[in-house]
Amino acid sequence: MNFIEIFKGAIQCLRGNKMRSFLTMLGIIIGISSVIAMSGIGKGGEKKITGSLAKSGFGVYQIKVDNESDNYRSVYNLDDSDIDLLRDSEIGLESVAARMSERITVKTGGRREPRGAVYATDTHFEDIEEVTYLSGRPILQSEYQDMVPVIVIDHVTAETLYPNLRSPIGESITLEFRSLKLTREFIIVGVFEHPEAGLSEAGLARWLPAYGRISLPLFNRITGDDEYNSILVKPVDPLEAQNVLSRAITVLEGKNTSEIYEYEERVARGSSFKEILSTLSLFVTFVASISLFVGGIGVMNIMLVSVTERIKEIGIRKAIGAKNNHILMQFLTEAIVLSLTGGLLGVLLGYFSAEVVGIFVNIEPIISPGIVIISLLISTAIGLIFGVYPARKASLMNPIDALRNE
Amino acid sequence: MIYKKRKNVIELKGIEKIYNTGKDITLKALDNINLEIKEGEFVAIMGPSGSGKSTMMNILGCLDGLSGGEYLLGGTNIKNLNDDELAEIRNKKIGFVFQSFNLLPKLKAWENVALPLTYAGVHSKERRERAMEALDSVGIKDRATHLPNELSGGQRQRVAIARALAGSPDIIMADEPTGNLDSRSEEEVLEIFKRLNAQGATIIMVTHEENVGQHCKRIIRFRDGKLVEDEVIDHEFYRNI
């Protein structure tokens, strides 16, 4: 008796009980489809985010002072002399920009006050990062130099703060610099596309940090301090980046002798989406595992019912020569076909829900073959695990008792 | 003594079957049964209900174990065989025909007939051919693709007989095969058995109907778990044996 025939028999039997089979599969369908949908949206979203990040930060590195202590102001910071060293070094840097970041709260006077970061940069920033302005303009060179209190903000924050305005250009915004405990007012001159914008389209805008940029000289005047905490550099040849960066570190260390500099690629910083995603997928995985477990119990339950209903059949089969293993395989295959069919339907449902959800959150889902294969393997395993007990029970039946059953 | 040339298909020595019906209550369903059945015999097992004839049939068919004694089926001692070995014996050496036909309702007639061959590991093409042959030999080949519930009782029993024949067993065991049939179908089924027997098949048939038993060559009667009478009907057959 070969496998294909057992398989055919199992399908025939499940088709004879369509409604029941479907209801039994439901748990597995839901479990698998949520895994597929989540992974599809997640992968699609990730691609979109890394795509937009790559656009804004590809090939850009930031050099920082490795300050392990919380009170980093007391430790050495970067200043203009470091910038000059790098500019004059001729080690293959296309451009160099200073950047100071400061945590802020946007004072709206309302209930919700967005938090985030403001980057104080010099004029070279625009050479390094490609920034797309949706309205208004960048901070002008003269405004950098003259310390004019203007700001450019990301479009998500702009939409949050001014939901009724077509353009917030010219509006004033009050920021609290949290670690400095200072509050200042700025005029908005431009709105740029948030580098992690995909997230806001996914309905997750409130998770996004607010993001603004102001003039570094202005910021230095506010703090009374001429230091900054990172230097952004862009190597001429992206492929040589590692060498160029280690040479840059050597140049800086020549001035300072201690090994306190480190660098990282900018792209790696844009990971808030990934964090949200991993939290979310952990939750979905949890829900899916419960659903799959319950689905497995359902399979076991219906297989026990099926065995009880077919005691007579088992008796007949045994009377004409079926061995215990034949019966075991018959019921086990049925359980596997049941849960595997559930898995297949779950993959389909997951695919379509990912597409539908994708339309709403503006993400094109990516269903990888890997996750489909894993899903199908999991469904097979569920059938196997939860089918063993009923199938074994059937196979060990005494033929004469089974035959007498009506 | 009178059976000399023909080989024993079945040999029973002091068979006992005891059921535990309660805590300390036991029921002796079969008590010291000694019996030999040879190739080519057509034996009726008769007796009132509760006499032990069905228990006897189940033991002969290797569907039930025995409590004491020895059972040799084609020379093989059944006593020490495990589930799978018994299944193989039922598959290869025995063909069953039941009172209530016991066909699988979702399988077509020919698929029911082919089922024992499936378990015997016969290749699917050969299976179909042999199932068709068996259906042909009981005159119901034209109904091969019908489901059991599309057939009359007599036709179903003929399919069941074909199933019993398909594996070319050593012995056919029929448990009240005419019990659910009208008299015309009963005649047909008995004719088939007689023809098969004439072609050399060994048949054991349980029945409680005297007229059915009279079609056989030999009648064994049970009462209260004991074999009480062994009556020869076809004297001609046993004279030449």
**Residue B119: which of A12, A315, A322 has the nearest Cβ?**
A322
For the ranges A131-145, A184-198, A303-317, which has the lowest average pLDDT?
A184-198
Give the span between the Cα atoms of A196 and A211, in whole angstroms.
10
Assigned domain for A264 exists: no
Assigned domain for A7 exists: yes
Query: Which strands sit side by side in the sheet containing B218-223, from one edge to the other?
Result: B94-97, B171-175, B202-206, B42-46, B218-223, B226-232
Contact flag B124-A399 (C-beta cutoff 8 Å):
no
Give bridge partners of residue B218 from the DSSP assignment.
B43, B232
In one letter, which amino acid is B198? Answer: A
Tokens 């033929």 found at: A399
Looking at per-residue pLDDT, the higher value among B188 and A101 belongs to B188
Domain boundary among A259, A291, A317: A259
Q: Do A235 and A340 belong together in one domain?
A: no
Give the span between the Cα atoms of B193 and B205, in whole angstroms.
10
Q: How many helices (H) and strands (E) does chain B have?
A: 8, 10
Give the span between the Cα atoms of A265 and A370, in whole angstroms.
29
Whole-model pTM: value is 0.71
Tokens 């003929």 found at: B158
Among A66-75, A127-136, B118-127, the range of highest mean pLDDT:
B118-127
Shortest CA distance to A121 belongs to which of A250, A246, A228, A14?
A: A228
Give the span between the Cα atoms of A133 and A130, in whole angstroms.
10
pLDDT at A391 over 50: yes
Give the span between the Cα atoms of A160 and A153, in whole angstroms.
11
Assigned domain for A61 exists: no
Instruction: Label residues B193-230 b or e (16+ Cβ within 10 Å = b).
Output: beebbeeebbbbbbbbeeebbebbbbbbbbeebbbeee
Q: Is B148 helix (H, G, I), strand (E, B) or coil?
A: helix
User: What pLDDT does A268 receive?
Assistant: 47
Instruction: Return the number of other C-beta atoms located less than 10 Å from residue A370's C-beta.
Output: 9
For the ranges A86-90, A263-267, A377-381, B176-180, which has the lowest average pLDDT?
A263-267
Reading the block at residue A247, the tokens are 């040479």
Assigned domain for A56 exists: no
Query: Mean pLDDT over residues B7-28, rounded?
Result: 88
Q: Is A357 helix (H, G, I), strand (E, B) or coil?
A: helix
pLDDT at A323 over 70: yes
Give the span between the Cα atoms of A391 and A314, in whole angstroms.
11
Are B164 and B85 in contact, with CB atoms under 8 Å apart?
no
Give the best residue of A317, A320, A324, A405 to mutate against chain B (max B CB count within 10 A).
A320
Q: Do A166 and A287 belong together in one domain?
A: no
User: What pLDDT does A264 receive?
Assistant: 75
Instruction: Return the number of other C-beta atoms located less than 10 Å from residue A108's C-beta.
Output: 13
Provide the pLDDT confidence category of residue A197 given band limits of 50, 70 and 90. low
Looking at per-residue pLDDT, the higher value among A253 and B98 belongs to B98
Which residue segment(s) compose the domain that A35 sits in?
Answer: 3-50+274-404
Query: Mean pLDDT over residues B127-135, rounded?
Result: 94
Give the span between the Cα atoms of A97 and A106, in whole angstroms.
26
Q: Do A123 and A92 belong together in one domain?
A: yes
Partners of B148 on chain A (C-beta within 8 Å) are none
User: What pLDDT does A369 receive?
Assistant: 92
Provide the pLDDT confidence category of residue A202 given band limits of 50, 70 and 90. low
Dmax (CA) of chain B: 55
Report all structural domains of chain B as residue ranges with CATH numbers, in order of start: 40-65+82-239 (3.40.50.300)
Q: Do A314 and A244 belong together in one domain?
A: no
Assigned domain for A295 exists: yes
What is the sign of the dihedral through the CA atoms of B129, B134, B136 and B142?
A: negative
A159-196: pLDDT as tens digits: 888 888 778 888 888 888 888 888 888 999 998 887 66
Tell me phi and psi for residue B163, to 5 degrees.
Answer: -60, -40
Q: Do A75 and A204 belong together in one domain?
A: yes
A279 reaches B (C-beta below 8 A) = no
Reading the block at residue A176, the tokens are 């609290």
Give the span between the Cα atoms of A219 and A227, in whole angstroms.
10
Instruction: Return the number of other C-beta atoms located less than 10 Å from residue B120's C-beta.
Output: 17
Provide the pLDDT confidence category of residue B187 given band limits of 50, 70 and 90. very high
Q: Where are the alpha helices (DSSP H) in B48-151?
A: 53-60, 83-92, 109-120, 124-137
Are A312 and A406 in contact, with CB atoms under 8 Å apart?
yes
pLDDT at A269 over 60: no
Provide the pLDDT confidence category of residue B184 given band limits of 50, 70 and 90. very high
Give bridge partners of residue B171 from the DSSP assignment.
B94, B202
Domain boundary among A214, A236, A259: A259
Are B46 and B219 in contact, with CB atoms under 8 Å apart?
yes
B101 reaches A (C-beta below 8 A) = no
Q: Do A94 and A214 belong together in one domain?
A: yes
Q: Do A216 and A330 belong together in one domain?
A: no
Assigned domain for A231 exists: yes
Reading the block at residue A17, the tokens are 């009980």
Partners of A400 on chain B (C-beta within 8 Å) are 58, 63-64
User: What pLDDT does A315 receive?
Assistant: 95
**Distance from A393 to chain B by nearest Cα, in Å?**
14
Reading the block at residue A288, the tokens are 């899916």
Give the span between the Cα atoms of A2 and B127, in whole angstroms.
13
Mean of pLDDT over chain A: 83
Question: In Å, how far are A29, A77, B164, B227 from A321, measured between CA atoms?
Answer: 37, 86, 11, 29
User: What pLDDT does B143 receive?
Assistant: 94
Give the CA angle between residues A153, A154, A156 to the nearest 5°. Answer: 130
Contact flag A313-B104 (C-beta cutoff 8 Å):
yes
Provide the pLDDT confidence category of residue A201 given band limits of 50, 70 and 90. low
What is the sign of the dihedral through the CA atoms of A176, A180, A181 and A187?
A: negative
Provide the pLDDT confidence category of residue A76 given band limits of 50, 70 and 90. low
Q: Do A24 and A85 belong together in one domain?
A: no
B163 reaches A (C-beta below 8 A) = yes
Reading the block at residue A227, the tokens are 């230091």
Give the span between the Cα atoms of A362 and A384, in whole angstroms.
39
Provide the pLDDT confidence category of residue A250 given band limits of 50, 70 and 90. confident
Give the span between the Cα atoms of B119 and A2, in whole angstroms.
10
Assigned domain for A269 exists: no
Q: Do A225 and A137 belong together in one domain?
A: yes
pLDDT at A301 over 70: yes
Contact flag A403-B63 (C-beta cutoff 8 Å):
yes
Looking at per-residue pLDDT, the higher value among B217 and A213 belongs to B217
A39-52: pLDDT as tens digits: 888 888 777 766 66
Contact flag A318-B87 (C-beta cutoff 8 Å):
yes
Query: What percentage of chain A carries pLDDT values higher than 70?
Result: 87
Q: Do A201 and A336 belong together in one domain?
A: no
Q: Which DSSP state fits A204?
A: I
Q: Do A71 and A203 belong together in one domain?
A: yes
- What is the total count of domains within chain A? 2
A1-21: pLDDT as tens digits: 577 888 888 888 888 888 999
For the ranges A167-181, B56-70, B91-105, B106-120, which has the lowest average pLDDT?
A167-181
pLDDT at B205 over 90: yes
User: What pLDDT does B1 receive?
Assistant: 45
* Sequence-ordered list of residues with C-beta below 8 angstroms from that of B20, at least 6 positions apart, any chain: B26, B27
Provide the pLDDT confidence category of residue A285 given band limits of 50, 70 and 90. confident
Strands B218-223, B202-206: pairing is unpaired
Tokens 């503006």 found at: A362
Query: Mean pLDDT over residues B94-119, rounded?
Result: 93
Query: What percentage of chain A carries pLDDT values higher than 90?
Result: 29
Partners of B64 on chain A (C-beta within 8 Å) are 400
**Residue B87: which of A313, A316, A322 has the nearest Cβ?**
A322
User: What pLDDT does A71 receive?
Assistant: 47
Looking at per-residue pLDDT, the higher value among A166 and B226 belongs to B226
Q: Do A198 and A337 belong together in one domain?
A: no
